[in-house]
Structure 1
């Protein structure tokens, strides 16, 4: 039997960044591996500049995510950003340098940010035997996080407690039970979202209790926070079986 840490994520707005190309900043429909690792690291108090500690932490946890909404509402936010024109002869070490060292080169560019509205998820975490922190330690950290937690962007704070708990069993059983154990949003306008999607996404190659009907290559496996470098991983997609069905 496998032990999991299970919790919920809900916010009116969420943005799970994909590869940033051009003026559009797209969002995935589900939180990726880097986002979930970042959330756990923030909860336990690992800082972004602690490269060695982050790298050790990031290698030892597997995630499964079940979106629990019936309709996906996507929003786009319009931004303009002051940026210097490309100049290979000039190096900017900080944002302050970009704006002050050569003000005559600063122009305005458009950038669009994508968000999902009323995003609600069930998340399960499995730890490897070599994990630096136990699932019990992560549960305690999520109950009283060291740093503020948010849904992808700082403008997307959590709107419900995570209610983390430990569960034992197959991933299919644990995710099916999460719908009964986690207190979903109570607002009449929001409640229908929790009755829907039984789709599940996971990255544990040893998981067999949920039949996978798709494999995807995702570029959200954090390799270096300092260099902002990510590697690929295999993400499995399957339909959560109905217990007793």
Structure 2
């Protein structure tokens, strides 16, 4: 049985893959410019883990094939593989992208008019809202402390705590450190590979005034913020 796990937040591989698709990069294309970018991920809503049971074509020999309803095995070359695929449902994240201005500007243009359709981990999971929510920031990572949260405002409290994950050591604080293998070296179909990197996770306490609600309420809060900053 095949297992397709998921991380608790968008990985470097996921974000770089999203940008590569928007830019129209084919599998096997050079990723060095995108790998030079810095990604900071804020967890607005952590969501819940869901597991989807699927069968996919695998071309296995009959002895390894999945039994059919009458107890037989499928013919050679027509076997299927049983797979469990893990997803995050009802999750929301805000990702800050910092780095070389030319690369960031090119990615911004591509997200406005992507070359290929964008999806979140699986082709069956298109983005539910705008992918590009702001641009032209001097410090995108720093803006996460003031950017609208895509979550409902809680009652009975003035603050909320959110996780912030950095792919570089943050300037302040003592974050937890995790080793994750999600730094893509190549997306080539036949020789995909990833490097190991350190993820730094800390908790930020923010005002509930930043909780902008869901759906159109959040989108309207983004629009109002953009207007106020121009």
Shared fold by TM > 0.5?
yes
Q: Is the 8 A contact 1:176 1:242 kept in 2?
A: yes
Instruction: Pick one of 102, 108, 123 that aligns with 1:139.
Output: 108
Deviation at 1:145, TM superposition (A): 1.4
Measured in 2, the distance between the counterparts of 1:74 and 1:233 equals: 24
Q: Which residue of 1 aligns with 2:93?
A: 121
Q: Which residue of 1 aligns with 2:47?
A: 72
Q: Which residue of 1 aligns with 2:179?
A: 217
Structure 1 residues 140, 78: CA separation in 2 closer, same or farther (over 3 Å shift)? same
In the alignment of these two chains, the number of paired residues is 189
Deviation at 1:120, TM superposition (A): 0.8
Which structure has the bigger radius of gyration? 2
Q: Is the 8 A contact 1:23 1:110 kept in 2?
A: yes
Structure 1 residues 49, 165: CA separation in 2 closer, same or farther (over 3 Å shift)? same
Measured in 2, the distance between the counterparts of 1:76 and 1:108 equals: 19
Deviation at 1:139, TM superposition (A): 1.8
Instruction: Pick one of 24, 28, 33 that aligns with 1:57.
Output: 33
Q: Does 1:151 align with 2:120?
A: yes
SS of 2:58's equivalent in the other structure is: strand
Measured in 1, the distance between the counterparts of 2:78 and 2:111 equals: 42
- Deviation per CA, 1:74-117: give whole Å up to 9, x if none: 21111112323479xxxxxxxxxxxxxxx526433311111111
- Deviation per CA, 1:47-99: give whole Å up to 9, x if none: 2242xx32x22331110001101x62221111112323479xxxxxxxxxxxx
Structure 1 residues 88-103: aligned runs within 5 Å:
103=75
Measured in 1, the distance between the counterparts of 2:85 and 2:12 equals: 20
Higher strand share: 1
Structure 1 residues 196, 110: CA separation in 2 closer, same or farther (over 3 Å shift)? farther
TM-score, with length taken from structure 1:
0.68
Structure 1 residues 165, 58: CA separation in 2 closer, same or farther (over 3 Å shift)? closer
Structure 1 residues 108, 197: CA separation in 2 closer, same or farther (over 3 Å shift)? farther
Q: Which residue of 1 aligns with 2:134?
A: 164
Unaligned runs of 5+ in 2: 63-74, 208-230
TM-score, with length taken from structure 2:
0.72
Q: Which residue of 1 aligns with 2:227?
A: none
Deviation at 1:231, TM superposition (A): 1.0
Measured in 1, the distance between the counterparts of 2:177 and 2:161 equals: 18
